[in-house]
Chain A
Amino acid sequence: KAGVTQTPRYLIKTRGQQVTLSCSPISGHRSVSWYQQTPGQGLQFLFEYFSETQRNKGNFPGRFSGRQFSNSRSEMNVSTLELGDSALYLCASSGLADSYNEQFFGPGTRLTVL
């Protein structure tokens, strides 16, 4: 099976712009989660989608949004970018809804905001 893929791998944007990141989960996985990884804050949970519905949301401002399509692919959007949004954004998929299942992570999209 192909792993979790994320596009693009690298992005450079300026303050005030918006950005859309894409994630394709492992085939058959219906849960897709997004995390923000920064040196100072570690891994912070953004949100999780399951069968096109947002199931969980972390403590991020409304500038961060996402969606999931019927084929389980997910997109994350950040509007009005700030310097502090520079981070590695990781997508993870999980096969089942049960909480004991591990997550499979993509390589991430490194976003730099200038």
Chain B
Amino acid sequence: AQSVAQPEDQVNVAEGNPLTVKCTYSVSGNPYLFWYVQYPNRGLQFLLKYITGDNLVKGSYGFEAEFNKSQTSFHLKKPSALVSDSALYFCAVRDKNTNAGKSTFGDGTTLTVKP
């Protein structure tokens, strides 16, 4: 079984400050981890993924995420937040034996960046 937890329903940051959106996971085996963003009335957009290799993954729009195997975490980060980053963020996980089409998603974290 696989599961994802996003412990914060809401994250508020000021524009220009760094942001972190937290994600922890549970899988039996090596995880494949993903971050998606959803803007109002839109579908989810892929931001970045961790498959293997370097624990720091860089993605779209200046976002990055750090894979930490010992803490089973995959936190999303950005050095300097923009107001336009305000959206709903989802972390997702699969294990190696799960098909590409079946992901387990966290409940989402609403990020609000204030000017």
Contacts and interface: CB of A to CB of B under 8 A. Distances in A.
Interface of A: 4, 31-33, 35, 42-43, 45, 48-50, 55-56, 90, 92, 94, 96-108
Given A42-B107, A43-B90, A107 B42 contact: yes
A4 B43 contact: yes
B41 interface: yes
10 contacts: A50-B99, A55-B99, A56-B99, A56-B101, A90-B44, A100-B51, A102-B49, A103-B101, A105-B45, A106-B43
Contact of B103 (A32, A96, A103, A106): A103
Contacts of A90: 43-44
Interface in B72-115: 90, 94-108
Secondary structure call for the B interface: loop
Interface residues of B, number: 27
Nearest to A46: B102
A33 B43 contact: no
Contacts of B41: 107
Given A33-B102, A105-B44, 20 more contacts: A32-B101, A33-B101, A33-B103, A42-B106, A42-B108, A45-B103, A48-B99, A50-B101, A90-B43, A92-B44, A96-B100, A97-B100, A99-B97, A100-B49, A102-B46, A103-B101, A105-B36, A105-B45, A108-B42, A108-B43
A107 to B, nearest CB: 5
A8 to B, nearest CB: 14
B42 A94 contact: no
Nearest to B52: A100
B25 interface: no
B39 to A, nearest CB: 10
